[in-house]
Structure 1
Amino acid sequence: METANKTVKELAVEVPGAARLFEKLGIDYCCGGGVALSEACGKAGLSVEAVLSSLEAARQEPAPENDWSRGPLAALANHIVEKHHTFTKAETIRLESLFAKVCSVHATRHAELAEMQARFSEMANELRTHMMKEERILFPYLAALEQAAAEKRALPRAMFGSVENPVRQMIKEHDSAGDALHALCEASRGYTAPDDACASYRELYRSLEAFEADLHTHVHLENNILFPRALQMEAAAA
């Protein structure tokens, strides 16, 4: 049962396909991934043995094309920006428009929609500021840190002191986004559209579910891989 005692986030990094499995099972592997697998299974009402069996099958999957636990930090940061930041920026705009359209027709019969719209808009604005800070400040510094470490030069000076300081704030903001999406999922009964939902209503819920899944991967790459590696690199080079 050694695997059951490992944290979910450790397994998400270590086992090919684990993150995809956890997403399917509803196990939080990004913001709340710091708990043991056995505890996570208990919270989700899942059999530890069944999940371990599925994990063992996931271990046999081919390794991903990009092993971000080993590649350059700058390449991982670029991947996050190009794939996940780009998606998040475009989808928040599209989803805000969908919310406005759906609320204008259905909010009188489904009171939860107005609260969901406000919660999503608040989260979207916070995420835009969050990504801007990463793209303009943190990620460029991590690239400079990596280059200095490779060339055995003194670490670049940063206005925020240790990398630990902005990383702590980024994780806090990730948690806030995760809480918002959890609330949206609950308010929508697991993104289940009501019987009288029109095509736009159903598209809104389908897209919110896809948005949440992408954010889970996005946060996993930062919280569980990029940030820990950056902290280790800074400590080793100090």
Structure 2
Amino acid sequence: MAKNSIYIALTAMLLSACTTSPTGRTQLVMMPDTQVNQMGLKAFSQLKQKTPISRNAAYNRLTHCVASAITQQVGGGRWEVVVFQDKTYNAFALPGNKIGVHTGLIQLINGNQDQLAAVIGHEVGHVLAKHSNERASQQLAVQQGMSIAQQSGMVESNAMMGLLGLGAQYGVLLPFSRTQESEADEIGQNLMAKAGFDPRQSVALWQKMAQASGGQQTVEFMSTHPSDTTRMQDLQQHMASAVATYQQAQATGRRPHCQ
């Protein structure tokens, strides 16, 4: 009876935390947005203290111009945008409306505004879809489930707990993370098109990323990100719709000049 009560309580908690993402996917979101936003603000503040901020005027003009055009399609307040002096090909967006772009990425794309829009759109897509909240909620749910399994006698040994943890990681957390990455690609491609950036450059971006990695990529099953090939195939599936959105944006005067 006690076990049944635990299962009922856990099921009720999980069902009450189910929401719908911008693409219509059911997702688990258990934490208040205010709490997640505060975590984002704190993380961004720490990054600015630890990582040098680029003073390159051209890089900053390009990044702020692209980010402004993307976030205008989102609404919901102002976004802080910072270019970090870092050689890695990276960018990110955090809850609380924070965007960071590394100089290494700008150099890789040679200042191409459409390719940068694909990256920033993708990162903003993570924020819009509440992926940080979802990932934290998934981890919390897995931890609670493992704890209940141990308390109820379903798992009795440390060895079995270790196996359950491995299964939870590769069976739940990583596949969801790949789903989130693909979802952010779709949202980002639509955002860049709505802002007037050419969505076809999203595929060109990942071709460039694949060339830069030299084929040294983690096997997709063991990775939190889709393979470059999978990513490009998925982007191509949505391309016709994205190009139509882009052409409509251009026709209504949304023609960014951020180069």
Q: Please tell me the TM-score bracket, short chain as reference.
A: under 0.3
Q: Quick check: which one's helix share is greater?
A: 1
TM-score by length of 2: 0.24
TM-score by length of 1: 0.25
